[in-house]
Amino acid sequence: MTIEYLKRADRKSTDDASDVRATVQAILDEIEAGGDEAARKYAAKFDKYDGNVVLTRDEIDAAAAKVPMKLKDDIRFAWDNVRRFAEAQKETIRDTEIEVVPGLIAGQKAIPCQAAGCYAPGGRYSHIASALMTVTTAKVAGCGHITACSPPRPGVGISPAIIYTADICGADSILALGGVQGVAAMAFGLFGLPKADILVGPGNQFVAEAKRILFGRVGIDMFAGPTDSLILADETADPEIVAWDLVGQAEHGYNSPVWLATTHRPLAEKVMELVPGFINQLPELNAQNAAAAWKDMAEVMVVSNREELAQVADSYAPEHLHVQAADLDWFLGRLQCYGSLFLGEETTVAFGDKSSGPNHVLPTSGAARYTGGLSVHKYMKLVTWQRATRDGAKPVAEATARISRLEGMEGHARTADVRLKKYFPDQSFELTATE
């Protein structure tokens, strides 16, 4: 495959990643030792917030009253889509059992985590959609207790829209805490809440590092980096739509890669011509983010055919993959590595980010090679069970004894021997294997 780069990234999204691990570890250690008061101290230090941490019912209702009805309608529309998609996903995993050999029955059960902690960013942007995606899926999965957590603003608290969203989606508790202290509060079970079994949701590098450090003690959705998006396009694509789709994702931040691969060089050239002007139409902060991402992180490449488009996609393994080309069914069948796939110009990554239904918490930095995004399944443990009749246990015990001895694990072998002796005292067995 030959790729002609019309624009190549000046650096990778990890080039400016600072070593925050020591800082985050120190905060986690202090909060674990100091409990609620230590978490409050960091809320005051980093968020300039000294208000109530666990929101009361009156505070939640007061926040909901501040949300305009039209926005409530939009949030409920998105919530309904996310909920129904999660319910459909849950239906794909069912309890099952099989008679493996006569008399030996094995099965599978799907058991939800008892407690989930859902983080919704509230710094540069108030991520209503993150509360939608994380809390709703935890609720559909059947988690016993769901804590939603979001950074408060000085003298204001959490965005009323985030509070309203977390509440209607099913959060049992809402914490006005951000950053490492918010993650720690959910993981350590502070403020009278149950310890989270799983932590989910996007956040800045400090939130991501806190989840990384805590992984193992708790489950997490994934290790997340800056969001990234790839568009595959041919001569049928509309350059204006392609350009806006790139700009829309670049607005996430200065280190958010956006890529375009196309079989049509004139399209690539037109998109590169349009993007700077579209960026300048954004509000100042959004424009700064998008301009930096476009300058340092964006790539535009031309390839020969659609198979090469697919090869580019599989090699980049993008978080978001958007196909704006003919024969969408071919791409749906061919593409292998992506967090979420958007087919045709009639959909866009922003639809998935906000309201269309599939989850927007997705693998970044090439992780789509081996994992998918957040779903109702992430909150559920697939556990197995087995039971047997004595006759059913007989061939399994014989095989187990021989394999165990071949491996040198005599104790394992004896657990099989003792059952054969008890159940079949009048029979003899050859329980030593030779290589």
Residues 326 and 363 in one domain: yes
Residues 394 and 352 in one domain: no
Residues 275 and 150 in one domain: no
Residues 207 and 136 in one domain: yes
Number of domains in the chain: 3
Residue 366's domain is classified under what CATH number?
3.40.50.1980
Contact 428, 401 (CB under 8 A): no
User: Which residue, 170, 189, 220, sits at the end of a domain?
Assistant: 220
Q: Confirm whether 380 is domain-assigned.
A: no
Q: Confirm whether 383 is domain-assigned.
A: no
Residues 362 and 273 in one domain: yes
Q: Confirm whether 425 is domain-assigned.
A: yes
Separation CA 54–CA 136 (nearest Å): 20
Instruction: Please tell me the predicted confidence (pLDDT) of residue 18.
Output: 61
Residues 311 and 399 in one domain: no
Separation CA 247–CA 253 (nearest Å): 11
Instruction: Please tell me the predicted confidence (pLDDT) of residue 16.
Output: 47
User: Which residue, 220, 245, 264, sits at the end of a domain?
Assistant: 220
Residues 237 and 90 in one domain: no
Provide the annotated active-site residues.
319-320
Q: Confirm whether 3 is domain-assigned.
A: no
Residues 188 and 109 in one domain: yes
Separation CA 289–CA 372 (nearest Å): 27
Contact 383, 113 (CB under 8 A): no
CA distances (Å), 287 to each of 126, 253, 343, 391, in order? 17, 10, 27, 72
Residues 89 and 68 in one domain: yes
Residues 69 and 185 in one domain: yes
Residues 206 and 236 in one domain: no
Instruction: Please tell me the predicted confidence (pLDDT) of residue 127.
Output: 86
Q: Confirm whether 28 is domain-assigned.
A: yes
Q: Confirm whether 53 is domain-assigned.
A: yes
Q: Confirm whether 13 is domain-assigned.
A: no
Domain that holds residue 396: 389-435
User: Which residue, 220, 240, 257, sits at the end of a domain?
Assistant: 220
Q: Confirm whether 5 is domain-assigned.
A: no
Instruction: Please tell me the predicted confidence (pLDDT) of residue 11.
Output: 64
Residues 234 and 300 in one domain: yes
Give me the tens of pLDDT residue by residue for the chain, a chain 435 residues long: 789 999 999 766 554 456 789 999 999 999 999 999 999 999 999 999 999 999 999 999 999 999 999 999 999 999 999 999 999 999 999 999 999 999 999 999 999 999 999 999 986 667 899 999 999 999 999 999 999 999 999 888 999 999 999 999 999 999 999 999 999 999 999 999 999 999 999 988 999 999 999 999 999 999 888 999 999 999 999 999 999 999 999 999 899 999 999 999 999 999 999 999 999 999 999 999 999 999 999 999 999 999 999 999 999 999 999 999 999 999 999 999 999 999 999 999 999 999 999 999 999 999 999 999 999 999 999 999 999 999 999 999 999 999 999 999 999 999 999 999 999 999 999 888 766
Taking the complete model, does pTM exceed 0.85, yes or no?
A: yes
Helix axes 284-296, 265-280, angle to 10 degrees: 150
